[in-house]
A and B are shown apart, each in its own frame.
Chain A
């Protein structure tokens, strides 16, 4: 079977890129696999890609940034999509051509706008699987309305959590579309796991407000005060860098809390720690939580929508604390810093429990999904219940009303200028 992934930009850094590479590489054991990258801005991907996986870029920004078609807004890629401004008539055209001429049996889209391309432009014989790495509730009503129309033409839609899959089933009317949670996978670590003796708390991710590194640093202050030999290391880059540095200085944590910059691969950095941490307000999946656990670290995380609660068993292989609660985060960290035996035990359990996110179980599930969807394609189109239709139509109407109302508001605002 030939499987093709349609990815925004394989040359960047991010959770979707990592997980797509992981899945593509694992599938390449038994299938012909390619990744089609809508955009390219550098010579080589940041993450090494298994040579068995072919990589095909469509628009090369190093030469085609000023292409006349690239200066015109995209029309197939939906305007309400987060990355619409990076797309253009040129991407519309290239993605359309790539789909029309694909020799793949299955094409897998990896973000809403690309799923729309896939739904609308893939030839009939191609099995179409859309992947959502974000969450439905986080999409704007305008985007949800666009997706509601297009996603009906998909064969299957995967989310990264059960909670989000439930949300799609409840709020979108997608008759005949199989909606299923397919977690991100994390490769089997090559290094021996952490042994729980290091006095380092490790966090990793882009330095953006939603990740709440400010809260994490504040929560770490009492830990450093009581245990000055402990460090907090935060890996990543982003807009919050300067603000976080000032916070570290203001709290007097210059010798305890560090902005380490980006590290790739993170594996060698996780194993230097003995606790992982995230204070995010929102985490569609929680890739870094799984990475840390796979390296033998118990993770202290906020119980934010949706990922952490489906990854961590509170008190067993990590800790879940309420969103935005500095004291609770601090107490959970202190508890693990103080109790060496509990920390090590939870780390060993984390290592064991996170195996379900290894490439083998995840790729088995993906393969099963692909096979079942391929086999049952025509039959699946006839499913769907009246009850489900009524409920989801309610959500559709609400989104549509919101879109119409906000459209009207914009007209009003424009009129006032």
Chain B
């Protein structure tokens, strides 16, 4: 466990945060002075140097604490990834990891109910495995939000809705084999509703298992229009308060032939299907 030593309280100062309906996130804490800053650092890949930082100024709040606001559209937009949060007590001083206080994210819960324009930017403050505060960010040109998955013993039917794009003639759902050198299966989505955003599709598990033994992971996306230029839009579930969905939204397995197949959400909350042939 990683605990910060040298601070008065175990593991560093605590910060409360509140998300509002416009996508703004306000942080409140007791900072040593108004010259302190909050620092967000995009967590680099293992072994890579950190490159991307974002700082937030503090202002004095009515309750005597300090407040910093992450606006809905901070420029540049927060890149997709995990942003660890720090307090820089004064200019030039060493930064301290922040610990979570109360995270009032109630406004995020029904975030899927309103349509998002492009680019789709999502931020969810969350608690890291070692007990610190971080912000999970997604930034996508467009996004397909899963609204529900019905599984049977040989199929799954996904209901989803596009944000930042609309479906056009020739739209296709793509299942791309991870590490499969471009192996792709295509399905025609069923358009639901009349605004060109809702769609559903059914995946036959039988087509996903490998001929030989081994795991196969299929990543799901949708091409909103026809033609080579239509970029695949990843299908996932991002628009609520849950930063790590993998262990919470768990779907039943189906046994198809010699393979065990189930849909799951990845560590990035994207939808994939695992076909495990033993």
Chain A: residues with CB nearer than 8 A to chain B? 43-44, 48, 190-191, 194, 198-200, 228, 245, 249-250, 252, 254-255, 258-261, 265, 267-268, 271-272
Contact = CB atoms under 8 A, between A and B. Distances in A.
A321 to B, nearest CB: 26
A249 B250 contact: yes
A261 B106 contact: no
A200 B103 CA distance: 17
Contact of B104 (A43, A254, A258, A268): A268
B48 to A, nearest CB: 30
Contacts of B149: 254-255
A265 B102 contact: yes
Interface string B132-156: 0000000000000000111100000
A181 to B, nearest CB: 31
Nearest to A194: B106
Contacts of A194: 106
Interface stretch (B89-97, B223-231, B241-249, B269-277): B241-249
Given A44-B11, A254-B151, A191 B102 contact: yes
B110 interface: yes
Contact of A267 (B102, B110, B148): B102
A260 B250 CA distance: 11
Contacts of A261: 247-248
A200 B109 CA distance: 9
B44 interface: no
Given A44-B11, A254-B251, A261-B248, 10 more contacts: A43-B3, A249-B251, A252-B150, A254-B151, A254-B249, A258-B248, A258-B249, A260-B248, A265-B102, A268-B105
Interface in B10-54: 10-11, 14, 16
A-B pairs with the 5 shortest C-beta distances? A249-B252, A44-B10, A255-B148, A272-B106, A268-B102
Interface string B60-98: 000000000000000000000000000000000000000
A268 B103 CA distance: 6
13 contacts: A199-B110, A200-B109, A249-B250, A254-B149, A254-B249, A254-B252, A255-B148, A260-B248, A261-B248, A267-B102, A268-B104, A268-B105, A272-B109
Contacts of B251: 249, 254
Contacts of B10: 43-44
B110 A190 contact: no
A272 B105 contact: yes
A272 B149 CA distance: 23
A196 to B, nearest CB: 12
Nearest to A256: B148
B110 A198 contact: yes
B254 to A, nearest CB: 11
Interface size classification for chain B = 20 to 34
Contacts of B9: 48
Contacts of A48: 9, 14
Contacts of B241: 272
Nearest to B113: A229
A290 B232 CA distance: 48
A252 B152 CA distance: 10
Nearest to B262: A249
Contacts of B148: 228, 255
A200 B151 CA distance: 23
B104 A191 contact: yes
Most buried by A among B3, B102, B106: B106
A14 to B, nearest CB: 19
B102 A190 contact: yes
B3 A271 contact: no
A191 B9 CA distance: 22
A198 B252 contact: no
A271 B106 contact: yes
A259 B252 contact: no
A199 B112 CA distance: 13
Contacts of B247: 261
A255 B249 contact: yes
A49 to B, nearest CB: 10
A393 to B, nearest CB: 51
A186 B149 CA distance: 39
Contacts of A198: 106, 109-110
Nearest to B8: A51
Most buried by B among A228, A254, A259, A271: A254
Contacts of B110: 198-199
A260 B109 CA distance: 14
Interface string B169-189: 000000000000000000000
B139 to A, nearest CB: 25
Contacts of B11: 44
A254 B109 contact: no
A398 B221 CA distance: 70
A292 to B, nearest CB: 14
Nearest to B17: A268
B252 to A, nearest CB: 4
Contacts of A260: 248
A143 to B, nearest CB: 36
B104 A271 contact: yes
Contact of A245 (B103, B150, B250): B250
Nearest to A263: B127
Interface in B210-245: 241
Interface in B111-168: 148-151
Contacts of B150: 252
A43 B106 CA distance: 32
Given A198-B109, A198-B110, A254-B149, A259 B104 contact: no
Contacts of A249: 250-252
A194 B107 CA distance: 11
Contacts of A250: 252
Contacts of A43: 3, 10
B250 A254 contact: yes
A220 to B, nearest CB: 16
B160 to A, nearest CB: 12
Contacts of A252: 150
A286 B274 CA distance: 41
A30 B117 CA distance: 55
B181 to A, nearest CB: 32
